[in-house]
Amino acid sequence: MTDVPLSLSFNPAGIELDRRQGLSRQLYQALRMRVLDGRLASGTRLPASRDLAAALAISRNSVVRAYDQLYAEGFIEGRVGDGTYVAQITSSTLPGKKLSTKVSTGISTDLPTGLSTKQSNLPGVLSSEVIHSGALARVERNHLPTPPSGPPRAFRVGVPAFDLFPFEVWAKLNAAFWRKPDLQQLCYGDPSGDARLRAMIAAYLRSSRGMQCTAEQIVITSGAQQGISLCAQLLVEPGDAVAIENPGYRAAGHAFAVAGARLHGVAVDSEGIDCTQLARLGDCRLTYVTPSHQYPTGVVMSLARRLELLAWAERTQGWIVEDDYDGEYRYSGAPLAPLAALDRQGRVLYVGTFGKVAFPALRLGYLVLPPGLVQAFAQRRAVDVRHSEVSTQAVMAEFMAAGHFQRHIRRMRRAALGRRNCLLAHWPANIEGVGSPPAVMAGLHMTVAVSSLAREQELIEQAESVGVEVNGLSSYWLPDSKEPLDQRAGLVLGFAAVPEPAIEKALARLREVWCN
The residues that bridge with 45 in the sheet, in sequence order, are: 85
The answer to whether residue 185 forms part of the interface with a second copy (CB under 8 A) is yes
Backbone phi, then psi, for 345, in 5-degree steps?
Answer: -115, 0
Closer by beta carbon to a second copy, 396 or else 450: 396
* Interface with a second copy, residue 427, by CB under 8 A: no
CB of residue 182 to a second copy, shortest distance in Å: 8
Stretch that binds a second copy, among 24-32, 217-225, 265-273, 409-417 (CB under 8 A): 217-225
CA–CA distance, 463 with 212 (Å, rounded to integer): 45
**Interface with a second copy (CB under 8 A), residue from 22, 158, 352, 472:** 158
Neighbours of 439 (CB within 10 A): 11
What is the C-alpha separation between 210 and 56, in angstroms, rounded?
57
The H-or-E segment that residue 264 falls in is strand 262-269
CB of 43 to a second copy, least distance (A): 25
Specify the stretch interacting with a second copy by CB under 8 A; choose among 89-97, 155-163, 305-313, 440-448: 155-163
- Binding segment for a second copy (CB under 8 A), chosen from 74-82, 226-234, 295-303, 454-462, is 226-234
CB distance 146 to 265 below 8 Å? no
- Cα separation, 257 vs 478, in Å, equals 12
With CB under 8 A as the contact rule, the residue among 105, 113, 119, 149 that binds a second copy is: 149
In the bound state with a second copy, the residue whose beta carbon lies nearer, of 19 and 132, is: 132
In sequence order, the 6+-apart residues with CB closer than 8 A to the CB of 257 are 138, 141, 142, 263
Q: Is 510 left (phi over 0), alpha (psi -120 to 50) or beta?
A: alpha
Nearer residue to a second copy within complex by CB, 253 or 265 = 253
Nearer to a second copy, 329 or 514 (CB): 329
Give the count of residues interacting with a second copy (CB under 8 A). Answer: 85
Q: Which strands make up the sheet holding 262-269, listed edge to edge?
A: 218-221, 365-368, 348-353, 319-323, 284-289, 241-246, 262-269, 272-273
Rule CB under 8 A: is residue 235 a binding residue for a second copy? yes
DSSP code at position 284? E
Nearer to a second copy, 30 or 397 (CB): 397
Where are the extended beta strands (E) located within 44-107?
45-46, 76-78, 84-86
| Whether 390 contacts 186, CB under 8 Å | yes
- Interaction between residue 175 and a second copy (CB under 8 A): yes
Tell me which residues in 322-361 interact with a second copy (CB under 8 A): 346, 359-361
229 binds a second copy (CB under 8 A): yes
**Residue (149 or 436) nearer to a second copy, CB:** 149
The smaller minimum CB distance to a second copy, of residues 165 and 427, is found at 165
Best CA proximity match to 163, nearest among 500, 495, 498, 506: 498
Interface mask (CB under 8 A) for a second copy, residues 371-410, using x and -? -xx-xx--xx-xxxxxxxxxxx------------------
When binding is defined by CB under 8 A, the residue of 32, 254, 408, 445 that contacts a second copy is: 254
CB-nearer residue toward a second copy: 166 or 437: 166
Q: Cβ 384 to a second copy, closest distance in Å?
A: 5
- Integer Cα distance of 234 and 6 in angstroms: 44
> Is there binding between residue 188 and a second copy (CB under 8 A)?
yes
What is the rounded distance in angstroms from the CA atom of residue 216 to the CA atom of residue 375? Answer: 10
Between residues 11 and 393, which has the closer beta carbon with respect to a second copy? 393
499 contacts a second copy (rule: CB under 8 A) = no
